[in-house]
Amino acid sequence: MYDCLIVGAGPAGLTAALYAARANKKVLVLEAKAYGGQIVNAHKVENYPGIKEISGAQYALVLYEQVKALGVEVKMATVLRVTEDKKVITTEGEFTAQSIIIATGAKNRKLNIADEDEFLGRGVSYCATCDGNFYRQKVVAIVGGGNTALEDALYLTDIAEKVYLIHRRDEFRGERKYVNELKTKPNLEIILNSTITALHGHDVLEEITLKNDQGEEQTLAVSALFIAVGQEPSSEAFNNVVDIDPNGYIISPDGVHTKTPGIYVAGDIRQKTLRQLTTAVSDGSIAATTAILEMKAQK
């Protein structure tokens, strides 16, 4: 029986573990793949207050070591189901805890084209606000038609020399006001009805190939491709103990509680407006502190 079981060893989950362990709680963190979460893909983190610059991988390593040094147990296991009485059924057996913090995050949806993984961090990025600054005065492309792609395209027009916004349909899913604003940007070119079919480069990304609805191909020379084609939250294993919105995010009206007492949510997996490292660690600290206070009140 653990005091606090945390699902997900990204920044939100590890921060929750840090706070719970420092409050002398017996803590277990379950992680399906590797510690660190999405931040390990960030080439450089330059927007975390108090740290001028750090690689995402280094940040994750330091946080992980900080948590381990406090005696937190971290196990590799995929959570299959959670019951209302806080039993966590995993690929590696069952665990019970007084409180559970769900911090499984969301993964960026991939384009699923050849070499996408190979160019990750070397031209391919899923986060314009994290990595846009590395392409100052360069030619970049962004793919997607939702609000993320539109907002990111606007952000990139202030940084890059030229921005191609590539969308697979002739209409954007995102809000009209962003589209109207984008149309006023002289360094933006919108390419509709087109999909990206190939990535090229030696070591770093140099070109992308597009194909339009008529089957015509064109190749663009770009230093970066920002992929903003939506997110895939990892919430299915929890659907009997939390409310989930149509996009798969866990609903928490106050940003910490779920519909089940003793089960809390933190980080990118919850419905929220800003998914950043700063907001993930904030969520983790609030979830752990809330869980600790409520466990104490029950005694």
Task: Report 219-238 residues binding ligand NAP (CB under 6 A).
Answer: 228-231
Binding track over 237-266 against ligand NAP, x by CB under 6 A: ----------x-------------------
Task: Report 119-148 residues binding ligand NAP (CB under 6 A).
Answer: 143-148
CB 178 within 8 A of CB 154: yes
CA distance linking residue 136 with residue 53, whole number of Å? 17
Q: Establish if 165 lies at the interface with ligand NAP (CB under 6 A).
A: no
Cα of 3 vs its chain's centroid, Å: 27
Number of chain residues interacting with ligand NAP (CB under 6 A): 19
C-beta of 78 vs 195, nearer to ligand NAP: 195
- The beta-strand segments (E) located in the chain are 2-7, 27-31, 73-76, 79-82, 87-90, 93-102, 106-108, 124-125, 139-143, 162-166, 188-191, 194-200, 207-212, 217-221, 224-227, 231-233, 263-265
C-beta of 146 vs 267, nearer to ligand NAP: 146
Binding track over 180-199 against ligand NAP, x by CB under 6 A: ---------------x----
1, amino acid identity? M
Binding residue for ligand NAP, selected from 3, 31, 131, 151, defined by CB under 6 A: 151
CA distance linking residue 3 with residue 87, whole number of Å? 12
C-beta of 99 vs 125, nearer to ligand NAP: 125
Which part of the chain contacts ligand NAP (CB under 6 A), choosing from 7-15, 50-58, 167-175, 200-208?
A: 167-175
Residue 127 is among the residues annotated as catalytic for this protein = yes
Identify the H or E element spanning 283: helix 277-298
Q: Decide: residue 216, CB within 10 A, 0-12 exposed, 13-18 middle, 19+ buried.
A: exposed
Residue 4 is among the residues annotated as catalytic for this protein = no
The dihedral sign for the CA sequence 106, 111, 117, 118: negative
Q: Where does 145-276 have alpha helices with state H?
A: 147-157, 176-182
CA distance linking residue 124 with residue 231, whole number of Å? 16
C-beta of 115 vs 294, nearer to ligand NAP: 115
Task: Report 28-87 residues binding ligand NAP (CB under 6 A).
Answer: none
Catalytic one of 3, 130, 152, 283 = 130
CA distance linking residue 285 with residue 119, whole number of Å? 34
Binding residue for ligand NAP, selected from 169, 232, 236, 253, defined by CB under 6 A: 169
Task: Report 92-111 residues binding ligand NAP (CB under 6 A).
Answer: 109, 111
Provide the minimum distance between the beta carbon of 146 and ligand NAP in the complex, in angstroms, as a whole number.
2
Which residues lie closer than 8 Å to 107 by C-beta, 6 or more apart?
38, 231, 232, 233, 234
Catalytic one of 3, 4, 117, 131 = 131
C-beta of 93 vs 215, nearer to ligand NAP: 215
CB 166 within 8 A of CB 143: yes
C-beta of 64 vs 226, nearer to ligand NAP: 226
Q: Establish if 149 lies at the interface with ligand NAP (CB under 6 A).
A: yes
Contact positions vs ligand NAP (CB under 6 A): 109, 111, 143-149, 151, 168-169, 173, 195, 228-231, 247
Instruction: Enumerate the active-site residues.
Output: 127, 130-131
